[in-house]
């Protein structure tokens, strides 16, 4: 895998680059839609490609639980299984184990847990996470890490930082000893932890950077901490992480979060917001968020967003979308998701365009000022 930076903003840490995997060239900064279980909910791969989706995210925990990584391997890997030609990143499953599954026991060896589906018992180690991701065949695989809750005290977070460091060594050793199961490269991203404690973030970054030769992630944010603390941490990471590798901010976020994070040198994002919120009738527009279920839209025959050229905005009114949600028609979920993903992909394209034209600083400040009056953006 190769990462090259073609444009660097003069006034911020924003940069525009290209991340090359064996499956695609990814223009950064980039947003990755969530395809947790091998599908972006309600959207097929052809539509994703039409929306200029360059890379999607799958999840090791969920795909291990069902349909199983060995079945996916027999299908030719996750790309083949879901008919997706571009790049795939898989999360290690650690976050889901700590947040979804019933956690029984954690040790330096790994985590014993019960499935959130049927209560069956399972055991994940760093090596098992790597093995599952090798079977899935994703282009970018994430290290197995411990993600402490947002309100954890410094001592607890320190334990998580130390364990994450021990686990990255096991992840790397496993990959060094076991060749890829496919004819393409799989790249490991370490995940920096440390909560909102600057000393622990520095310690984690220094410990993990030696294992980051193609990219590095920032984990443990957007889990309930104050927004100011989150951005202070992101700003700190900008000064600590390698400049010549892509930086991936996990689980963030809202449109203004993306813009602010790009200002601080972030290259890659994922978040459930555009797709999950779409299925709940919350739509991102150039004038703020529209809650399509509100009565005010009952007889509104205008498009969702006059500045949007997506399929939904071209063909359907707010009134019709509200009707679809009221009758619980799945088409409404699909049309809303198409719109929200279009908003996010267009936003990322605009970010890249302004970095290239050396106007990102002024554009981003204007965007953030405009969106400051719109709650939830």
Is 257 one of the annotated active-site residues of the chain? no
Q: Are strands 111-114 and 216-218 parallel, antiparallel or unpaired?
A: unpaired
Report yes or no: 274 and 284 within 8 Å, Cβ to Cβ: yes
Average pLDDT for the chain: 96
pLDDT at 105: 84
Report yes or no: 90 and 73 within 8 Å, Cβ to Cβ: no
Q: Which CATH superfamily is domain 2-271 in?
A: Queuine tRNA-ribosyltransferase-like (3.20.20.105)
Is residue 95 over pLDDT 90? no
Is residue 100 over pLDDT 70? no
For residues 223 and 150, give the distance between their C-alpha atoms in angstroms, rounded to a whole number. Answer: 6
For residues 310 and 328, give the distance between their C-alpha atoms in angstroms, rounded to a whole number. Answer: 22
Is residue 267 over pLDDT 70? yes
pTM of the model: 0.97
Question: Which three-class secondary structure state does DSSP give residue 180?
Answer: coil
Catalytic residue among 91, 139, 257, 305: 91
Instruction: Count other C-beta atoms under 10 Å from residue 226's C-beta.
Output: 10
Is residue 94 over pLDDT 90? no
* pLDDT mean over 22-26: 98
pLDDT at 25: 98
Q: How confident is the model at residue 116 (pLDDT cuts 50, 70, 90)?
A: confident
Give the C-alpha distances (Å, rounded to integers) separating 89 from 93, 227, 335, 363, 377: 12, 26, 25, 30, 26
pLDDT at 269: 98
Catalytic residue among 131, 238, 270, 305: 270
Helix or strand holding residue 111 (H, E): strand 111-114
pLDDT at 106: 87
- Give the pLDDT confidence of 240-258 residue by residue, as tens digits: 999 999 999 999 999 999 9
Lookup result for tokens 């199961």 = 181
Is 305 one of the annotated active-site residues of the chain? no
């Amino acid at each position: 895998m190769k990462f090259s930076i073609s444009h660097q903003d003069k006034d911020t840490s924003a940069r525009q680059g290209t991340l090359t995997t064996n499956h695609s060239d990814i223009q950064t900064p980039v947003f990755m839609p969530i395809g947790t279980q091998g599908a972006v909910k309600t959207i097929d791969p052809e539509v994703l490609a039409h929306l200029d989706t360059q890379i999607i995210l799958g999840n090791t925990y969920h795909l291990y639980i069902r349909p199983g990584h060995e079945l996916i391997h027999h299908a030719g890997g996750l790309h083949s299984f879901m008919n997706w030609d571009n790049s795939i990143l898989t999360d290690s499953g650690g976050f889901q184990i700590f947040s979804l599954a019933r956690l029984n026991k954690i040790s330096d060896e790994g985590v014993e847990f019960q499935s959130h589906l049927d209560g069956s018992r399972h055991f994940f180690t760093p090596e098992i996470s790597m093995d599952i991701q090798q079977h899935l065949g994703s282009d970018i695989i994430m290290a197995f890490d411990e993600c402490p809750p947002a309100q954890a005290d410094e001592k607890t977070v320190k334990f998580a930082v130390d364990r994450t460091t021990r686990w990255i060594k096991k992840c790397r050793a496993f990959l060094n000893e076991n060749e890829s199961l496919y004819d393409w490269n799989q790249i490991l991203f370490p995940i920096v932890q440390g909560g909102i404690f600057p000393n622990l973030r520095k310690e984690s970054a220094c410990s993990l950077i030696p294992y980051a030769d193609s990219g590095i992630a920032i984990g443990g944010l957007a889990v309930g901490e104050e927004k100011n603390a989150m951005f202070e941490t992101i700003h700190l990471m900008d000064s600590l992480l390698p400049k010549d590798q892509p930086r991936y901010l996990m689980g963030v976020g809202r449109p203004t979060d993306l813009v602010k994070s790009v200002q601080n040198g972030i290259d890659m994002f994922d978040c459930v917001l555009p797709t999950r919120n779409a299925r709940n009738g919350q739509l991102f527009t150039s004038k703020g968020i529209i809650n399509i279920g509100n009565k005010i839209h009952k007889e509104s025959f205008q498009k969702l967003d006059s500045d949007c050229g997506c399929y939904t905005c071209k063909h359907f009114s707010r009134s019709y979308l509200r009707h679809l949600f009221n009758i619980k028609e799945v088409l409404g979920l699909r049309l809303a998701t198409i719109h929200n993903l279009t908003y996010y992909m267009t936003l990322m394209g605009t970010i890249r365009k302004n970095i290239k034209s050396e106007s990102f600083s002024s554009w981003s400040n204007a965007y953030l000022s405009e969106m400051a009056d719109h709650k939830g953006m």
